[in-house]
Amino acid sequence: MIILGLDPSLSSTGWGVIRSEGSRLSHVAHGQVKTAATTPMPERLACLQAELAQVIARYRPDRAAAEEIFLNKNPQSTLKLAQARGAVLAACGAAYDGMGLTVREHAARAVKKSVVGTGAAEKRQVQAMLKVLLPGVKVVGADAADALAVAIADAHLG
């Protein structure tokens, strides 16, 4: 099974693709989709959707997994995150000639617990476990690392 992990963000959405065969996991690809704060919002959202559509078309995942949205202290930040997440989910929904790609959602604490063993794990602990679970992978960016962790958690949570 090919799983696409997604860590939505307006400035840098992380994505990671893994292969899950029983309890065996392997790295396929990962990256980040970045948008500039100076670009108008509609263009940023269109960029996220288009670039993730390309990732989906290239790797043809069996399913996707995204981190659930969390409420930020700043309502504007929460709104921007929700908009970015909408563009990411729209790319999944439009995949495969409109048939859609199933997206499962996982809370950040559940992802950390699945990957590290504790829901209170720090980012560096998650990144260290990625090296153990996906030997040889050289992760480019924290957002891509988070996306790979989401994909791994989805594989573990079945």
For residues 150 and 145, give the distance between their C-alpha atoms in angstroms, rounded to a whole number: 9
H/E element, 12: strand 12-21
Q: Find the catalytic residue in 51, 68, 143, 154.
A: 143
Q: Is 154 among the residues known to form the active site?
A: no
Which helix H or strand E contains 103, and what residues bound it?
Answer: strand 103-106
Specify whether 143 is catalytic. yes
Tell the burial category of 37 from Cβ atoms under 10 Å away from its Cβ (0-12, 13-18, 19+). exposed
Q: Which tokens hold the place of 27?
A: 């790295």
The answer to the question of whether 146 is labelled as a binding residue is no
Is 62 one of the annotated binding-site residues? no
| Active-site pick, 7, 51, 146, 154 | 7
Q: Is 67 a catalytic residue?
A: yes
CA 140 from chain centre, in angstroms, equals: 14
How far, in whole angstroms, is CA 27 from its chain's centroid? 14
Q: How many CB atoms lie within 10 A of CB 4?
A: 30
154 is in an annotated binding site: no
Residue of 21, 43, 67, 146 with catalytic role: 67
Residues noted as catalytic? 7, 67, 143
Q: Which residues are annotated as a binding site?
A: 7, 67, 143
Q: Which residues are annotated as a binding site for Mg(2+)?
A: 7, 67, 143
